[in-house]
Amino acid sequence: MSWLQKLFGNPPKTAQVAKERLQLIIAHERDGGSSTANFLPDLQRELIAVISKYVKVNTEDIRVSLEKQGNYEVLEVNIVLPEKG
């Protein structure tokens, strides 16, 4: 391990940061935070920005929805990826 890593530590992985953000948003919603209509468009924009770093996608090809199924809330993210060609 280099001395820089010992001094500054390892930067968090992008997937881990995204997971933590989603957990915070969902926890906030369950505690009676802002309405679903308020955070879903922001979440969709952030997902588009992150995914666009790695794959060229059309903004209309990413859909985010939140559904209540019994005692659970299900966050659904649908992404249509371009075909390899």
Q: Find the length of the chain.
A: 85
Query: Is 68 within the bounds of a domain?
Result: yes
CATH of the domain at 71: 3.30.1070
CA atoms of 2 and 7, how far apart (whole Å): 9
Tens-place pLDDT, residues 47-78: 888 888 888 888 888 888 888 778 777 888 88
The verdict on residue 47 lying in a domain is yes
Question: Residue 73 gets which letter from DSSP?
Answer: E
Count: domains in the chain: 1
What is the distance between the alpha carbons of residues 1 and 3, in angstroms, rounded to a whole number?
7
Q: Are 81 and 55 in contact (CB under 8 A)?
A: yes
pTM: 0.47
Average model confidence (pLDDT) across the chain: 74
pLDDT at 4 over 80: no
